[in-house]
Structure 1
Amino acid sequence: MASYAFIKLGEADTGFSREDLLHYIQYYKEITSKTGQQLDWGYENAAFPYDVDDVDDHLVLASKERGYYKIFLSVQQKDENEQKHTYIQVFLPEKATHGDKGKANEFCKFIAKKVKGELHLFSGKVMSFNKK
């Protein structure tokens, strides 16, 4: 079954774009690579086993590794109560694996911490990283 998670950014973050999301993906890959260097192990491939494709209005994280399939990411803006909110939508297709869900949860937490957002997990639980 397909499932969704999303990160809700604050009203002040309406300028967040797909390029910003790509930047965070690159940063995540970079820091996991450094962890791998410290451990003398190719950790970056295990931590982020995806290739990134920019397709139409979303990013596709596709893996050729066994146990992984795809994760879709998009940045959306919605009006709520006369205020604009930016969301990072995370979608797992029906063929997604448990590995994809685990990596998506891990990556969502990383992004939510960086943008100080409110993470709505696939399970429906909410984690807030907004320091109010």
Structure 2
Amino acid sequence: MLDTVLSQGVSWVSQSAYIRLVEESTMTESNLDDVKQKLERYISMTTKTGQQLAWHYEEAAFPYTIEEKSEGKGKWLYLKGNNPELYKYIVIGVGSETVMDEESGQEKEEHYIQVVLPDGATHGDKSKANEFCKYLAKAYQAKLQLFNGRTMYFYPRKP
């Protein structure tokens, strides 16, 4: 997915997490605008929580600005940290790949949202990326493959 970025000479020794949109998900494919809307909803929810608590919770919950770089237009978003000592950056992109359907044995296209921690990302970035991954996976009722390789299921599973 981020091959375009890699080929542009940017240092991206990175870790990735994947939010996989499966048949049971609320959507079987997504685009960057939809992901951005979900992040904006997250910001809105944390802002309202902060208002209820009389605290600027949104600054702690989402310490980033959402930027769209021209080289990643339509392919990935860049979350730039507001406090470079604690939070530097996270990259979020969308893509698809051909996978083998376990039940039918047929190939099918599976869409995903990839969350990337570029080289130099902080522990704070990783914590926030895990939080955002869980939020997005829950919003899409998707399958989440975390940075550590573990899988979490947020969709209704067959008994």
Question: Matches of residues 69-88 of structure 1 in structure 2 within 5 Å?
Answer: 69-81=88-100, 82-88=107-113
Output the aligned Cα RMSD.
Answer: 1.3
Tell me if the contact between 2:16 and 2:117 (Cα under 8 Å) persists in the aligned partners.
yes
Deviates more, 1:96-105 or 1:59-68: 59-68
Correspondent of 1:106 among 116, 125, 131: 131
Partner residue in 1 for 2:81: 63
**TM-score, structure 1 as length reference:** 0.94
**TM-score, structure 2 as length reference:** 0.79
Q: Which runs of 5+ in 1 are unaligned?
A: none
Give the aligned length. Answer: 132
* C-alpha separation in 2, matches of 1:15 and 1:46: 30
- The structure with the larger Rg is 2
Q: Which runs of 5+ in 2 are unaligned?
A: 1-12, 101-106
Residue type matched to 1:7 in 2? I
Detail structure 1 runs of 4+ shifted over 6 Å in the superposition.
none
Partner residue in 1 for 2:103: none
Partner residue in 2 for 1:40: 54
| Percent identity for Structure 1 against Structure 2 | 42
* C-alpha separation in 1, matches of 2:146 and 2:29: 23
Tell me if the contact between 1:33 and 1:43 (Cα under 8 Å) persists in the aligned partners.
yes
Residue type matched to 2:49 in 1? T
* C-alpha separation in 2, matches of 1:14 and 1:116: 10
Correspondent of 1:4 among 11, 16, 23: 16
Task: Kindly provide the CA deviation profile for residues 9-59 of structure 1, in whole angstroms up to 9, marking residues without a partner as x.
Answer: 114734411110011010000000011001100000100000001121210
* C-alpha separation in 1, matches of 2:137 and 2:82: 26
